[in-house]
Amino acid sequence: MDDGTDAAMIGLWGVVIGALLSLVGTVIVPWIRESAERKRAERERLATERRDLLLAAMTALLEMRQRPAGDLLRGEAQAKFGARLNELTVRLTPNEQPILDVLILMLSMVQGRTRDVADRVGEAMLVLTLWARGDISTAEVIPSVERQAGVVFSEDHKTASRVPAEEHS
């Protein structure tokens, strides 16, 4: 090949490389950025939805706690709690199961009507609120509830027992 052909080939490759860089810069990079933004927005939407459902479930528990057994409004609050719990269950990941375990414990405490239930439920609600705000991780939820609410969960988190008041202080 002569110098003219070599120069033409270099020029052609320069145009091809320039066109590819232009394509990457004008189409692919914005597409990647937009895709990442969509994923971030979806994560935020889901987090907001889960937070709202969690707060609605806790509100229904408070309504239940304030109604005497047999009161129709207590049953309505229990139904609301169950609906929110179901909605929340399908939105939480398997790693977030401790959130559901604490809610079930709170339901059990509210139904039990023990003397210090208000304090224990309130402490558990505080922990769930901290989780919803992102102040504590899911892994910290059970230990925090145990410490704050004075309960000890079983190994599978399906049951919990109360720590005597003198040990909980």
What confidence tens digit (pLDDT) does each residue in 70-109 have? Answer: 777 788 888 899 999 999 999 998 999 999 999 998 888 8
Query: For 7-57, what is each residue's pLDDT tens digit?
Result: 778 878 888 888 887 877 787 777 788 888 999 999 889 888 989 999 999
118/26 Cα distance (integer angstroms): 59
Alpha carbon separation from 111 to 58, 114, 143 (Å, rounded):
14, 9, 23
User: Which amino acid type is present at position 161?
Assistant: S
Residue 123's nearest CA partner among 83, 85, 153, 150 is: 150
Residues sharing a CB contact under 8 Å with residue 124, sequence separation 6 or more, in sequence order: 102, 105, 106, 109, 145, 148, 149
Q: Is the dihedral of CA 12, 15, 17, 20 positive or negative?
A: negative
The model's pTM is 0.72
Residues sharing a CB contact under 8 Å with residue 108, sequence separation 6 or more, in sequence order: 160
Residues sharing a CB contact under 8 Å with residue 128, sequence separation 6 or more, in sequence order: 54, 58, 99, 102, 103, 141
Quick check: 169 pLDDT over 60?
no
Lowest mean pLDDT among 57-61, 63-67, 105-109: 63-67
Quick check: 65 pLDDT over 90?
no
Bridge partners (DSSP) of residue 160 are: 153
Quick check: 145 pLDDT over 60?
yes
Residue 15 DSSP one-character state: H
Rg of the chain over Cα atoms, rounded to whole angstroms, equals 28
Q: Does residue 160 sit in helix, strand or coil?
A: strand
